[in-house]
Amino acid sequence: MGDPELCRAASDLLWEHWQQGRRLDALPPELRPADRAAGYEIQACLEDRSARKLFGWKIAATSAAGQRHIGVDGPLAGRLLAERVHADGATLPFGANAMRVVEAEFAFRMGRDLAPREAPYVTREVMDAVADLHLAIEIPDSRFVDFATAGAPQLIADNACAHDFVLGPAAARQWRTIDLANHQVLGTIAGKLERQGIGSNVLGDPRRALTWLANELSGIGVTLRAGQVVTTGTCVIPMPVAPGDHVSADYGVLGRMAMRFAMP
């Protein structure tokens, strides 16, 4: 996009819709990002909205099914704002959430920076930079009426469908010896639904997804910072939710976590 005023205007429009729980068909032509890089320029304006440091990053569409669901051909990165992060066991208002799903995810907390560079990062060095593995539940949403037809540049501008995020406990230190790709995860909506998932649903391996994120940020000149949390995408098919639902995610030996949606 290149024009800071247009980037800010596009971000303002998306932010207003997010805060007011409204939807738009598309960004106006003059504000619409032409490519992924322009989408990330718009997304970057979100950091100015927060009074706190950026909490971390999310990765959307880390499975073929997820990519079909939002009409893209690859993953997208979004920012996790500290004000939208909640603790294990939290009760959240349901609000105007149009997607109405939750996702059980693996999240990594970084122990040191991964700065932009010319050579791509490989999984080994990315994992060496990780401090901890956390359990996580993401509650995504979009500011577009039909997110499946918005396209990757607009969805990136829309923060890759980021909305709310629940950070669970750190996994036991043994997580580094576990094959996360083959690790089972059970998501439950109490009294309604159970879905079994596996780490390989996340780009084949959550560690591979984290490596993708490090390289995606490197490509747009952004440092993945020590202390930031990266949630890597859903291990289970997204689970439909409604007000009053109690959500839990069981990661076996790695632990479990839960959250609830308040009644209106």
pLDDT tens by residue, 68-108 = 889 899 999 999 999 999 999 999 999 999 999 999 999 99
What are the residues whose beta carbons fall under 8 Å from the beta carbon of 158, sequence distance 6 or more? 14, 43, 142, 143, 144, 147, 150
Q: In whole angstroms, what is the distance from residue 205 CA to residue 178 CA?
A: 12
Task: Note the helical H segments in 36-114.
Answer: 36-44, 64-69
Nearest alpha-carbon partner for 165 in 228, 237, 254, 74: 228
Q: How many CB atoms lie within 10 A of CB 121?
A: 19
Is CATH 3.30.70.3340 what the domain over 51-261 is classified as, yes or no? no
Whole-structure pTM value: 0.97
End-to-end CA separation in angstroms for the chain? 40
- Average pLDDT of the chain, as a whole number: 97
Nearest alpha-carbon partner for 213 in 106, 88, 134, 135: 106
The alpha carbon torsion through 122, 59, 76, 179 (nearest 10 deg) reads: 40
Residue corresponding to tokens 């159970």: 194
The first and second tokens of residue 206, run together, are 């959550």
pLDDT in tens, 245-264: 999 999 999 999 999 999 98
pLDDT in tens, 14-64: 999 999 999 999 999 999 999 999 999 999 999 999 999 999 999 999 988
The first and second tokens of residue 235, run together, are 């291990």
